[in-house]
Structure 1
């Protein structure tokens, strides 16, 4: 089983005098993320005895491909926004932003099954901030009996294999699961010495230590920009036990795929 790595170690250059380095380094204040619920959902949360939200399925989408997959294949089943996570409490970011390129982190609840939640994180979370994000989720949701599914992507440059890259068909899916996960993954287990980092690593570490059921699916892709094939790499997940009952066939999927890729292409070109 591949390892998940959540520790962040400082790297310093030995070419710099240590005394001089200590003088130059100043403490950077850390700002913990906060969650902001919608008005109606906030009333529901206040009525809970321990203010922990009951949850049977929690899906966390982190990469642009994972979020596009969620928008096209999961959300059409019927989800309502119930809150958002703000990286900086001082930022004025609202859930009214609905563009697939908006840098938001929205929390959505399934209308037909209120114990199912989809968290779409479209902000870039630095590794050193990942612990605070995971702690926020753990403190707000009762995940002890939930199926936790994490979706993310990684470039092929970070993938280690005995096979030459020319023999690997990209994109492809790999997974990493906690020991308590009892389902059957729809892809191969992530091979050693590969690892996941950041929020997936922190959340998987927590789930492994405390016996939560969790699985991370990683789409390894060759292209830098979003591609239809990269989004479709997550489709096997629709047949998993935890997901198959909370989704339905989207007849407009192909059109939405093309529109999502086009939108991201235009957005990326603006910042080249």
Structure 2
């Protein structure tokens, strides 16, 4: 183009520069997105003995998954505390609420929110999973795919124990205090076993890891039953833990429950708090 004095200048195209900037921004966004995906990836670490057998997938007839502090505490107090169980693996992940469970090669520290796997010493086909860490929505599919991808689907049955605040339970009837805590169940279509408590009524829904596990079992035709405990206590307590006892009666041949636990044992897994009837005490 020409200036006022006849000087010829090179043509400048702003559109070309904007296209280059957009391309750079897209590449930068892709790198950031890829870095976030890698950081939020779920990793399953198994002990060497189990890792060697994973080439042909791990044989498992019963998988018991406990999600939440009360469900995990129940297994610790009534199952893992009395039987011969070996810690065989853990899940490591990172998100905004589970920063401490992101170490891939190091097992979680005692008392740290975590996702741990145990195997029965006398019956290796029985696996127990305790999950007390928060798993974000975008990590649930990864967790189910990677965990179930290590197990043989043939002959596999799944039981999920989880807890939830009673405030999330929807019912047209009034709930009396004596009725809490209580159990509700939900099964996959492949499950032929009879639930030991009433089914979860509509419009109640499941969320988080319990919902992801049950959905995976429904899609892949794996027999699964979920027992949801609704409680009015935020902290783990012995009464809420005992609510799960009927759920494991059907597995009495595989898993032995300790019928009577001492106060010292329960004190390790439950926080004993006195009922407060006044806001100012």
Alignment of 1:250-261 (within 5 A): 251-261=260-270
C-alpha deviation, 1:143, in angstroms: 3.1
Task: Flag the structure with higher strand content.
Answer: 1
Partner of 1:87: 93
Distance 1:90 1:172, change over 3 A: closer
State the distance in 2 between where 1:171 and 1:179 align.
27
Map 1:115-154 → 2, pairs under 5 A = 115-154=125-164
User: In the alignment, is residue 35 of structure 1 matched against residue 44 of structure 2?
Assistant: yes
- Is contact 2:236–2:271 with CA below 8 Å preserved after alignment? no
- Aligned 1:99-178 pairs, distance under 5 A: 99=110, 101-166=111-176, 169-178=179-188
Distance in 1 (CA, whole Å) between partners of 2:172 and 2:272 is: 36
Q: CA RMSD in A?
A: 2.5
Q: Is 1:197 aligned with 2:207? A: yes
Q: Which has the larger radius of gyration?
A: 2
Please give the secondary structure, in 1, of the residue aligned with 2:227: strand
What is the CA–CA distance in structure 1 between the aligned matches of 2:202 and 2:217, rounded to whole Å?
A: 20
Task: Find the aligned partners of 1:107 and 1:178 in 2 and give their Cα distance.
Answer: 23
Residues of 2 paired with 1:127 and 1:194: CA distance? 19
CA-CA distance at 1:255 after TM superposition: 3.1
SS of 2:149's partner is: helix
Mapped to 2, the partners of 1:261 and 1:173 lie a distance apart of: 19
Q: Which of residues 52, 65, 77 in structure 2 aligns to 1:60?
A: 65
What is the TM-score normalised by the length of structure 2? 0.76
Distance 1:96 1:165, change over 3 A: closer
Shift of 1:259: 2.7
- 1:167 is displaced (CA, Å) by 6.6
How many residues matched?
A: 234
Contact 1:127–1:197 under 8 Å retained in 2? no
Is the 1:238–1:244 contact (alpha carbons within 8 Å) kept by the matching residues of 2? no
Segments of 5+ residues of structure 2 without an aligned counterpart are: 1-28, 95-100, 275-281
Structure 1 stretches of 4+ with a deviation exceeding 6 A read none
